[in-house]
Amino acid sequence: EGRTIFGKSKYFKVCFQFVVAVGQHFTIAEFVEGMESFGGTRELRRLPFVPLTAYGETEMTKILDHFQERGEIYSRCATGSNFLAYTKGSFYAKGSGRGSGYGKDSHVAALRMSGRVMIDTQGSYEAGHSVSVGYDPMVDSIKAKYKEYMLHMRALKQQSSSGGGGTSSSAMLDDGVVLFESVPDDYLAMTWPAAVGFSFTSKAWGDVLVDGLSDINFSESTFDRLVLPAARKRMIRALVRHSADAFSDIVAGKGEGSVFLLYGPPGVGKTLTA
């Protein structure tokens, strides 16, 4: 029972749980929604929150199978850095966070285009972009879980530096934080439906629907079609593939890459070489 400007109001509280990526781990987030009281009866499908039992067995199985498949994709790509393709209407550019100047017109354009995205939950938080934007209970619960996760990881780091133990891959930790390195099979259907990453097509951070993600179909024969002498092509391939950590500049990680400047008139193969 709650109190509103119209007096006391009865409502039914519903607790929801879902699995979401926070940094390099997954955790279980929860939130509570209220449903106002009503007179008489209503169909289950007309309620604000529709339980699976409202569907027939065939339809319920189809829904669960879809959620399971989506959860498998989410489990593979939501932690770490993963380069994937997305379909039109799947990417929603963020309009908040540090360094974001994405306007309304750009949001519409981003939805109209397919493209490629680097899924990076940890990087997005460090850049000031949380998983989803807004102030509804679901988003608030994700933000709260991320803060809880960061506090836990900081405490774990301090414990490790003082000679304490680490964490297991799937365990209830001492401070009550549940973390998974991969989503357990029983929880795959409970995963959050979107991941956060940087779109190389829209040049912006945003949320991308997991249903729209797929592996990138790289063209393996493009370089073979480049019209250049075989010896020169072997040299280019060797330069690109060469990697060594023998030299390190004063600043760690600096000076370990390769930068190429391609020049020449149109039609000589600059694009195909790149």
Phi-psi bin for 27: left (phi > 0), alpha (psi -120 to 50), beta? Answer: beta
Do 160 and 106 fall within a single domain? yes
Highest mean pLDDT among 108-112, 234-238, 259-263: 234-238
Give the closest residue to 77 by CA, choosing from 170, 264, 209, 172: 209
Question: Considering 214, 232, 262, which residue would you say is the last residue of a domain?
Answer: 214
- Tell me, what's the pLDDT at 36? 81
Amino acid at position 257, single letter: G
**The CA-based dihedral angle spanning residues 167, 168, 172, 178, taken in that order and rounded to the nearest 10 degrees:** 80
> Whole domain around residue 163: which residue ranges?
2-214
Give the bridge partners for 208, in sequence order.
91, 195
Do 123 and 179 fall within a single domain? yes
Do 124 and 168 fall within a single domain? yes
Of residues 174 and 79, the one with the higher pLDDT is: 79
Do 140 and 245 fall within a single domain? no
CB 125 within 8 A of CB 132: no
Do 113 and 207 fall within a single domain? yes
CB 191 within 8 A of CB 184: no
Of residues 68 and 203, the one with the higher pLDDT is: 68
Instruction: State the pLDDT confidence band at 194, using cuts at 50, 70 and 90.
Output: very high
Q: Which residue has the tokens 């934007």?
A: 133
Q: Which residue has the tokens 């391939």?
A: 237
Do 47 and 179 fall within a single domain? yes
Instruction: Give the count of domains, the chain.
Output: 2
Res. 163: pLDDT tops 70: no
Instruction: State the pLDDT confidence band at 103, using cuts at 50, 70 and 90.
Output: very low
Do 262 and 150 fall within a single domain? no
Do 114 and 246 fall within a single domain? no
Query: Rg of the chain's alpha carbons, rounded to an integer?
Result: 24
Question: Considering 164, 181, 214, which residue would you say is the last residue of a domain?
Answer: 214
Round to whole Å and give the CA distance between 54 and 43. 8
Do 56 and 23 fall within a single domain? yes
The pLDDT of 162-177, averaged and rounded, is: 56
Give the closest residue to 201 by CA, choosing from 89, 98, 57, 75: 89
Q: What is the spatial order of strands in the sheet that 25-36 belongs to?
A: 11-22, 25-36, 178-180, 170-172
Alpha-helical (H) ranges within 37-178 are: 57-77, 104-112, 121-126, 137-161
What's the pLDDT tens digit per position in 232-251?
888 888 877 765 555 555 55
Do 160 and 249 fall within a single domain? no
Amino acid at position 66, single letter: H
What's the pLDDT tens digit per position in 7-63?
677 788 889 999 999 988 999 999 998 888 888 888 888 888 888 989 999 999 999
CB 213 within 8 A of CB 77: yes
Do 38 and 123 fall within a single domain? yes
**The CA-based dihedral angle spanning residues 130, 144, 18, 47, taken in that order and rounded to the nearest 10 degrees:** -100
Question: Considering 214, 231, 247, which residue would you say is the last residue of a domain?
Answer: 214
Global pTM value: 0.74
Do 240 and 148 fall within a single domain? no
- Tell me, what's the pLDDT at 236? 80
